[in-house]
Chains A and B, each alone.
Chain A
């Protein structure tokens, strides 16, 4: 059985649907990125998986345990680690005391090993911890009982790039030991460097489930160009979308081949060129088209996220 299986999961808060008939499966030994803008239902899904919220309908299992079966879920939690978005540690306790406490309930066979990688000031009260130290303490508690599955909610929010690379390295090493990792993020660039597969959530629906490479190919590149002259026809290129001109800068998203792009650009007198990864919002636009109407999003069961205009780009 897959470590996480979610089938037609719906969670309603009154009339509002936090998650709307979501189905997703996370395979053993993969790093799965759960991607979506804020408010898409990522945290709600995670809280259902941990048994903190009861599903309105549908089902979910973690390590084979039905999340609505408390006894089964408790057994599963011996082999699950959790890193919440808001690390709710007892501020008055020292890091050491908190680890002792969690260890007394769930075990800590890998604590010493982890303390060689992460070095929060354990003897100090958690009230005095910086964000980075809190995050380290959170990672230690999530991994120290040698779990088979670790669920993390926005684990890289607030980490500087250097720390983030360290985090990625650690996560990959954990995956290589056979641990399944499920984490949410709203920043594509964080996810792409470390995830094997990505699920994109939007307004409570899973709209895409992809290998990271495929996702990035489809998402394309963001191109910013500044040219001498008025730049007429700059965006007139197959694979260029959402062409915008902001001041002297021309901006578009490009899903074609580099050669074609560079050939096209070389016919202008270039002042500045920047080709970068697009922000998540732009990738979304490619998945839904740039102007998704209210009526379209309200349609139930629109599980056809791949707009036809992106298919040509992936052939390239």
Chain B
């Protein structure tokens, strides 16, 4: 068992390491800006943002290191960019193999389609896991280096709770990978879908009477600002995201089992 997952994980490792290094450096770059940032009159700066933008980027307090990290790194890079990235990558998993005739070869081996799909999805733990180990180390070191401090437990939790969120985004991509024939199209739709969900959550949150609409978005169940600024951990949200992931993987399995591979 797990031969497929191991092979796929190995394939992803190189790109993942490059991405981890890149994001680590980007985080350090952001953090290096914080000291000069903290001197500005933050309150008036923040008021300049429309409420939807404040909501979208979880802007609470940019003049504390926690608030700053939450906005610049976790709401922007982690929640939005990384969410889009894993959805994009997951959308390629099945569709790309089918399109490039790799799936024919793989399915000529004695493996079930359910196993192929599940192990390919499992291999996405590589980017998700590695990034969540490397980047917090870089962030913590960066914060110490500029003479600030951040609660290590909060930092660990903001990463730990991002894992269910990123898995849910990946699962959205996975479903598209089994439904849409062309890999390019599946990947683009996955990016659009996660982005639209992100917007729905941000806009509905500041629209009276429509707050509930945002609950369809995975972003509603992971709030880095709350974790870092208030040390409040939404474990129920994480459970919802994990349940959604499992449900979406099951939908993908069903779809993949019943579809014709190529023509």
Q: Give chain A's interface residues, CB within 8 Å of chain B.
A: 13, 18, 44, 47, 50-54, 70-71, 74-75, 77-78, 80-82, 84, 86-90, 92-93, 101-102, 104-106, 141
Contacts and interface: CB of A to CB of B under 8 A. Distances in A.
With a 10 A CB-CB cut-off, give which of A77, A81, A88, A141 has the most chain B CB atoms.
A88
Nearest to A82: B108
For the complex of A and B, list the 4 residue pairs with the smallest distance between their C-beta atoms, beginning with the closest.
A88-B101, A82-B108, A88-B102, A77-B110
B11 A92 contact: yes
A101 to B, nearest CB: 5
Interface in B201-239: none
B108 A50 contact: yes
Nearest to A101: B7
B105 A82 contact: yes
Given A88-B102, A104-B3, A105-B3, A52 B262 contact: yes
With a 10 A CB-CB cut-off, give which of A44, A80, A101 has the most chain B CB atoms.
A101
A92 B11 CA distance: 8
Nearest to B110: A77
Nearest to B99: A88
B145 interface: no
A102 B109 contact: yes
With a 10 A CB-CB cut-off, give which of B102, B110, B112, B263 has the most chain A CB atoms.
B110
Contact of A89 (B3, B105, B112, B260): B105
B111 interface: yes
B179 interface: no
Contacts of A13: 263
B104 interface: yes
B174 to A, nearest CB: 19
A84 B104 contact: yes
B3 A101 contact: yes
Contacts of B101: 84, 86-88
A126 to B, nearest CB: 11
B188 interface: no
9 contacts: A47-B261, A47-B262, A50-B104, A52-B260, A52-B262, A70-B113, A84-B104, A88-B105, A106-B110
Given A54-B260, A70-B113, A90-B11, A77 B102 contact: no
Contacts of A87: 101, 105
A88 B100 contact: yes
B109 A106 contact: yes
Nearest to B10: A97
A44 B100 CA distance: 17
Interface residues of B, number: 24
B112 A51 contact: no
B108 A74 contact: no
A44 B258 CA distance: 17
B107 A50 contact: yes
B111 A52 contact: no
B46 interface: no
Interface in B87-125: 97, 100-105, 107-113
A52 B104 CA distance: 7
A12 B263 CA distance: 10
Contacts of B4: 105
Given A51-B107, A70-B257, 10 more contacts: A50-B107, A50-B108, A52-B103, A52-B104, A52-B262, A74-B110, A74-B112, A82-B104, A105-B4, A105-B109
A20 to B, nearest CB: 16
A139 B262 CA distance: 22
Contacts of A54: 258, 260
B110 A90 contact: no
Contacts of A105: 3-4, 109-111
A115 to B, nearest CB: 19
B102 A89 contact: yes
A51 B114 CA distance: 14
Given A82-B105, A88-B104, A104-B3, A53 B111 contact: no
A217 B129 CA distance: 66
A141 B4 CA distance: 16
Contacts of A86: 101, 104
Contacts of B258: 54
Contact of A70 (B11, B112, B260): B112
B45 to A, nearest CB: 46
B262 A90 contact: no
A16 to B, nearest CB: 10
Contacts of B97: 88
A80 B102 contact: no
A54 B104 CA distance: 14
A310 to B, nearest CB: 35
Contacts of A50: 104, 107-108
A264 B108 CA distance: 55
Interface in B1-36: 3-4, 7, 11
A111 to B, nearest CB: 15
A75 B102 CA distance: 21
Contact of A53 (B100, B103, B110, B261): B261
A55 B4 CA distance: 27
